Structure 1
C-alpha cells in the first residue's frame, strides 16, 4: 500500500501594516468603508486609478494589490512620503505626486477616482494651511474639498469611469449627488455606516448644535460612500 503525503500549502502573505508619520491621517472607519466599496469594483491589470488626497496611501495600495495602475495625490509632503513608504513596504507600484486639486491633478483619463477628502464642518471658513487638521477640516459646511472633488472627477474620468468618495452625512450627501448630476454623473450612495463621534466632533458638539447640524442628544455621525459614474 502506497502512502501519499500531502504537502501543506503555504499560508498567503499578510498585507504589510499601514504606517503613518506624525500628522498624517491614519486609516479609520471611513477608509474601511471606502475600501469595502472598492472591493465591489471590477479592477484588474490595466485599470487606471487616481487616489485624490491619498493620506497614508492605504486606498492607493489596496487598489494596486488588485492589479491597478495607481496614481496618488496629496497636498501634504508628509502624506506623500508616507504613501510612498507604504507602497514600498507593501511591494506595490504607486506613483505619488505632491499637489492639490487646483495645481497638480493628473490629466487622465482614469477608470476610477478614489477620494477620502477633508469633510468635517469647521468653525473656520478657510481650509487650514498646515497641521494635521488639513486631513479633516472642510470649512463651515465641510464641503470645500468635497465640492472640488465633485467638480474635478468628471473632467478626468473616461466615459463609464467611476468616482468613489466617502464623507460624513453632516456635509449633506444630497448636495453631493446633485452637484455630480449637474456634471453628467449618475450618482448614488452605496455604503452607510453609523459611528460614534471621534475626538474632533466631540470637541465641536456645542458649535455643531448651534449650527443645527446635530441634535441635542446626537453622539454619532453617519458616513456615506457616494458612487458616481460618468455617463
Structure 2
C-alpha cells in the first residue's frame, strides 16, 4: 500500500537531498564518471546529465525494459548520456538519438560503442535533425524548469519553450499507432506539460510512478 507524502515532508526531503548533493554527490556531478544503469556501463562526460545521480534517466530505462518492442523504430530525444536509446538498442530496436548539447552527442556515441550497439546520433534542437522521420516510440526526459539555460549542461534542466514545441511537433514524428514515453516530476513543470499535450489532442496515462520523497516521478505514455 502506498502512503501519500505531505507537502512539508517533501520540502524536508528536498532540503536533505540538496545538502547531500553539496556534501557528497557533487563529486559525481559535472565530472567525468563511470555509472551503471542495470547491466549497462555508461561514461558520463562533465557537461552531460547524469542519469543515475539525478534518477529520471535510470527510471526511464527501467520502464523501457518492459515496454520497448523489439525492432521498433525509436527516437531518444534529448539523449544525454544515451542511456534510454542504448537500452532500446540492446532490445533490438533501431534507434536514433538527438541532443542539442554536443558533449551529450559525443557521450552517447562513446556509450553506444561501450555497449556494442548501433545508435544513429545527431546534434540539434528537438526534432530538427529528424524533420522527415517518423517513429514507433519517442523517448523524452525533458528539462524540469522553464528558463534560459546558463551553459551546455543546464540545457538538461531549463528551456524557455520546449513544452510547447514538443507538444506541437510530436504528432508529425509518430506513426499512427506510435506513442511517446515522457518522464515528468512534481518538482518540475508536470502540469503545464500535460496541459499542452491535451491542447494538441494527445491522450496520456501514467504507466510507472515512483515517490522519492522530495518528488513524485512518473513515466507517461502519450498517444
Provide TM-score, normalisation by structure 1. 0.72
1:153-186 CA distance string (max 9 Å, x none): 2110010101001122234534333322332322
Counting only pairs closer than 5 Å after superposition, residues 146-165 of structure 1 correspond to structure 2 as 146-165=163-182
What RMSD over aligned residues (CA atoms) do the two structures have, in Å? 2.0
Within 1, Cα distance between the matches of 2:75 and 2:68?
Answer: 15
1:185 aligns with 2:202: yes
Shift of 1:37: 2.5
Cα distance change on mapping 1:127 and 1:147 into 2, 3 Å: farther
- Give every structure 1 segment of 4 or more consecutive aligned residues whose post-TM-superposition deviation is greater than 3 Å: 170-175
2:49 is paired with a residue whose SS is: coil
1:84-124 CA distance string (max 9 Å, x none): 01001100010000001263234221000001121135xxx
Shift of 1:16: 4.1
Q: Answer yes or no: is the 8 Å Cα contact 2:101–2:152 preserved in 1.
A: no
Within 1, Cα distance between the matches of 2:186 and 2:102?
Answer: 29
Within 2, Cα distance between the matches of 1:42 and 1:103?
Answer: 24
133, 154, 177: which is aligned to 1:133? 154
Q: Answer yes or no: is the 8 Å Cα contact 1:84–1:94 preserved in 2.
A: yes
Within 1, Cα distance between the matches of 2:94 and 2:127?
Answer: 23
Cα distance change on mapping 1:33 and 1:147 into 2, 3 Å: farther
Aligned residues between the structures: 184
1:19 aligns with 2:19: no
Shift of 1:133: 1.5
Counting only pairs closer than 5 Å after superposition, residues 59-138 of structure 1 correspond to structure 2 as 59-101=84-126, 103-120=128-145, 125-128=147-150, 130-138=151-159
Within 2, Cα distance between the matches of 1:184 and 1:107?
Answer: 21
Task: Please list every run of 5 or more consecutive structure 1 residues that lacks an aligned counterpart in the other structure.
Answer: 1-13, 197-219
Within 2, Cα distance between the matches of 1:79 and 1:19?
Answer: 11
Task: Please list every run of 5 or more consecutive structure 2 residues that lacks an aligned counterpart in the other structure.
Answer: 1-37
Q: Which has the larger radius of gyration?
A: 1
Within 2, Cα distance between the matches of 1:40 and 1:183?
Answer: 28
Provide TM-score, normalisation by structure 2. 0.75
Question: Which is richer in helix?
Answer: 2
1:225 aligns with 2:219: yes
Within 1, Cα distance between the matches of 2:130 and 2:111?
Answer: 21
Q: Answer yes or no: is the 8 Å Cα contact 1:15–1:90 preserved in 2.
A: no
1:48 aligns with 2:64: no
Provide the residue aligned with 2:35 in structure 1.
none
Within 2, Cα distance between the matches of 1:179 and 1:16?
Answer: 34
Counting only pairs closer than 5 Å after superposition, residues 204-215 of structure 1 correspond to structure 2 as none
Q: Answer yes or no: is the 8 Å Cα contact 1:37–1:164 preserved in 2.
A: no
1:115-156 CA distance string (max 9 Å, x none): 1121135xxx3233x2321211245xxxx3233222222110
